[in-house]
A and B are shown apart, each in its own frame.
Chain A
């Protein structure tokens, strides 16, 4: 059965409908979940989409991490079910401490709206479990604060534990280690700056987002089977 995936909506989110549409295309039953929700136990996976949650006031994700839904997202993550943060959603997950590091202003202080190449580094995450390492994907990026930052110790650990999920082929924003996406220790929580949901049709310039979203949907279905 198609897994039920929640797509969190904060005031200021703006990619939620694209994510729902892309997840449905990838075989899920996706639905919007307001950030005031406190129970996500009926969901097999959850996506925190892009946008400007709570206006990005203070720092991207700084206010959103205290939204009621985030406790439920944390619970879902701890239960081993797949959690994905895209762009602003990645920023929210780092602020919430579900992923290591932080996203800083881009090197060069420019908002970047472009299509870039990213390489799949690890198949250990729910986003890439069905995609071979070395695969290069063309995905859109659209951010001002996408400069992944962590200390040397964290970087060494991420590399040693195979938790760098995606790397930029040509680093556009100054990210440490060219990192475009990382996962937690268990591999079920993933964050990335590029927007796979905007790359699901060749007509729109790229369909390279589909394999990773399909992988995420398959992982959600697998987690549903385990829980059932």
Chain B
């Protein structure tokens, strides 16, 4: 076993493509009124910052991916991406 380190991990959860996103659509419709023209495909989601103890960045990413799949995202309508920040 290597020595365990703490990794800072970002998990982003968003709706799967094709799943209606009323929140994203509402934000998109509000933008022109604020002068932000030419912004499209707004999709809302959630972001989680975690500190994960693991032997390597890969192991930290794998663990975060697993917990994202089991808890942070509902795989029926959502998908997630994991980024190890350091």
Contacts and interface: CB of A to CB of B under 8 A. Distances in A.
Interface of A: 58-59, 62, 66, 94-95, 100-102, 104-109, 147, 149-150, 174
B71 A174 contact: no
B19 A104 contact: yes
A58 B26 contact: no
B22 A150 contact: no
Interface residues of B, number: 10
Contacts of B19: 104, 149
B74 A107 contact: no
Contact of B76 (A58, A94, A109, A174): A94
A62 B76 CA distance: 12
Contacts of A95: 74
A201 to B, nearest CB: 35
Interface in B4-49: 19-20, 22-23, 26
Nearest to A104: B77
A107 B71 contact: no
B72 interface: yes
A95 B76 CA distance: 9
Nearest to A59: B74
Contact of B23 (A105, A149, A150): A105
Interface in B46-86: 71-72, 74, 76-77
Contacts of A102: 74, 76-77
Contacts of A62: 71, 74
